């Protein structure tokens, strides 16, 4: 299994990204813990048994889904850091300057962000 240690922000980004692409069968686990089960199965060349691929991504194989999750997580991580940096600089997330936080710096090469209710 991937032995990379993730900090709290990276865990949140990876979990959130995985939840945008996968539908997890065990909702008692965090998105990140479900992501870890998913990545273990993919790295072992097995079909993950804790999730299914969300419909818009059904045509991707498991390794491509993993790649997409990592791309999404990089974007989310960038956004999380930008918001935290702005909050640190201004001390108020409701300040007028927060309305114009640049989102384009984290674009996923034209890939739209998908939203869904779970």
pLDDT (0 to 100) of residue 2? 55
Neighbours of 39 (CB within 10 A): 19
Domain that holds residue 55: 8-106
| Domain membership flag for residue 55 | yes
| Domain membership flag for residue 115 | no
- Our count of domains for the chain comes to 1
pTM greater than 0.75 (yes/no): no
pLDDT (0 to 100) of residue 95? 61
pLDDT (0 to 100) of residue 44? 96
Coil/strand/helix, residue 67: helix
**Which helix (DSSP H) or strand (DSSP E) does residue 19 occupy?**
helix 8-21
| Domain membership flag for residue 1 | no
| Domain membership flag for residue 25 | yes
- Can you give the pLDDT of all 118 residues of the chain as single tens digits? 455 678 999 999 999 999 999 999 998 999 999 999 999 999 999 999 999 999 999 999 999 999 999 999 999 999 988 888 888 887 666 665 555 544 444 444 334 444 444 3
| Domain membership flag for residue 68 | yes
Cross-strand partners of 51 = 24
| Domain membership flag for residue 111 | no
């Amino acid at each position: 299994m991937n032995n990379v240690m993730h900090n709290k922000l990276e865990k949140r980004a990876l979990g959130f990204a995985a939840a945008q692409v996968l539908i997890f069968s065990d909702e008692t686990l965090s998105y990140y813990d479900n992501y870890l089960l998913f990545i273990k199965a993919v790295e072992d060349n097995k079909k993950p048994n804790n999730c299914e691929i969300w419909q818009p991504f059904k045509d991707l194989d498991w390794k491509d889904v993993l790649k997409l999750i990592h791309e999404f997580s990089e974007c989310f991580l960038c956004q999380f850091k930008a918001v935290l940096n702005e909050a640190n600089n201004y001390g108020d997330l409701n300040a007028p300057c927060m309305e114009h936080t640049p989102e384009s710096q984290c674009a996923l090469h034209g890939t739209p962000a998908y939203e869904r209710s779970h």
